[in-house]
């Protein structure tokens, strides 16, 4: 993983603006737009953690979940040959293609 920060189960993107000579980013995996910036790595990390804390406080104040909700469905585009191999393997295992993909993702995340 690169170009990210982690704090309290939140992830922030990290970018550098050569024009402004500043690091900047935003919280990822939330339904809102929360940004942060700093002129050094130390400042960026501090700004990121403050952004997380401010966002958590805001969510508490408005009684909102800070986490993005996921439906459990998404489209995946893969090479046709890989699609064929996955479909065949799922049939061999006696599971649906969806179940096969879920198992593969679960295994990869361990």
Please say if the pLDDT value at position 1 is more than 80. no
Q: Which pLDDT band, with edges at 50, 70 and 90, does 68 fall under? A: confident
Which residues, 6 or more positions from 12, have their beta carbon under 8 angstroms from its beta carbon? 4, 5, 6, 25, 26, 27, 28, 36, 48, 51, 52
| pTM (whole model) above 0.95 | no
Give me the chain's average pLDDT, please.
94
User: In this prediction, what percent of the chain has a pLDDT beyond 70?
Assistant: 99
Give the tens place of pLDDT for each residue, 78-95: 999 999 999 999 999 999
């Amino acid at each position: 993983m690169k170009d990210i920060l982690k704090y309290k189960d939140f992830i922030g993107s990290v970018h550098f603006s050569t024009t402004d000579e500043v690091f900047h980013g935003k919280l990822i995996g939330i339904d809102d737009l929360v940004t942060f910036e700093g002129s050094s790595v130390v400042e960026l990390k501090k700004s990121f953690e403050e952004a997380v804390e401010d966002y958590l406080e805001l969510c508490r104040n408005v009684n909102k979940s800070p986490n993005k909700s996921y439906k459990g469905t998404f489209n995946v585009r893969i090479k046709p040959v890989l699609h064929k191999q996955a479909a065949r393997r799922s049939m061999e295992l006696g599971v649906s293609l969806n179940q096969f993909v879920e198992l593969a993702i679960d295994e990869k995340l361990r």
